[in-house]
């Protein structure tokens, strides 16, 4: 009888210790449930290990990596495979894409995304990062680029240069006017000035006694220096 009593006392102490250990976790889980408005099973029916696994799996589902199913220019896109709870059928859900102030992009279909469930569940999905495989340009360590799937690149190089590269056969356009006017290169303008100078220095005028001689004072060499920090690669 004494041995049975000791065992009973020991089991009660063990359960009391387990309850004391579980209490803080239950309180935290209750706070999560109240904030996220989710259904959690009765904590009294769950052993500590099962409760920890349940919360870990749920919290892991709040941040997911998925794909864009239907792009949109207004910032609300359809993403694939997003469920608000474990076991929920996967489908396409609307999420809002958040981008940095001063920068926007119309992310194409098939791009990889990182979606965060704000306040829990798919109704408040927020896309916080996007990536379209195979489009990122090769960069040196520390360099930065703005680019698109169509081939244009604005590159900030490690040497401090800013390089604008259009798609092959396309243009770099400055301004918003509808008409376009090609930019003249320094080498082209200097070549033209050299031709004009040579003609002026050798030209003659007709006179009653025949053609006059060429100017006795030659025209000085003319050239333009161009911008000190803007160049075109030809």
Count of beta carbons in the 10 Å neighbourhood of residue 68? 24
Report domain extents, the chain: 2-55, 61-131, 134-176
The three-point CA angle 103-104-107 to 5° equals 140
What percent of the chain has a predicted confidence (pLDDT) above 90?
22
Do 115 and 64 meet the contact criterion of CB atoms below 8 Å apart? yes
State the Cα–Cα distance between residues 132 and 121, nearest whole angstrom. 25
**In a 3-state reduction of DSSP, which class is residue 115?**
strand
Do 85 and 38 meet the contact criterion of CB atoms below 8 Å apart? yes
Q: Which pLDDT tens digit goes with each residue over 66-81? A: 888 888 888 788 887 6
State the Cα–Cα distance between residues 135 and 137, nearest whole angstrom. 6
Does 2.60.40.1180 match the CATH number of domain 61-131? no
Place of tokens 């020991």: 10
The mean predicted confidence, pLDDT, of the chain is: 77
Closest CA to 33 of 78, 71, 85, 70: 85
Position 223 pLDDT exceeds 60: yes
N- to C-terminal Cα separation, the chain: 101
């Amino acid at each position: 009888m004494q041995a049975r009593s000791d065992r009973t006392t020991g089991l009660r102490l063990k359960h009391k210790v387990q309850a004391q250990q579980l209490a803080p976790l239950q309180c935290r889980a209750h706070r999560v449930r109240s904030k996220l408005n989710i259904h959690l099973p009765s904590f009294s029916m769950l052993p500590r290990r099962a409760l920890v696994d349940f919360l870990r799996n749920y919290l892991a589902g709040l941040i997911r990596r998925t794909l864009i199913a239907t792009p949109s220019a207004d910032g609300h896109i359809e993403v694939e495979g997003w469920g608000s709870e474990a076991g929920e059928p996967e489908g396409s859900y609307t999420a809002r894409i958040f981008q940095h102030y001063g920068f926007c992009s119309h992310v194409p279909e098939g791009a990889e995304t990182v979606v965060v469930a704000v306040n829990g569940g798919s109704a408040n999905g927020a896309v916080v990062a996007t990536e379209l495989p195979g489009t990122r340009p090769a960069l040196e360590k520390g360099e930065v680029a703005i680019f698109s799937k169509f081939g244009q690149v604005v590159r900030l190089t490690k040497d401090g240069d800013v390089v604008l590269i259009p798609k092959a056969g396309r243009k770099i356009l400055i301004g918003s006017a509808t008409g376009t006017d090609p930019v003249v290169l320094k080498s082209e303008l200097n070549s033209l000035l050299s031709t004009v100078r040579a003609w002026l220095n050798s030209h003659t005028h007709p006179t009653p006694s025949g053609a006059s001689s060429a100017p006795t004072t030659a025209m000085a060499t003319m050239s333009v220096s161009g911008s000190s920090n803007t160049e075109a690669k030809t």
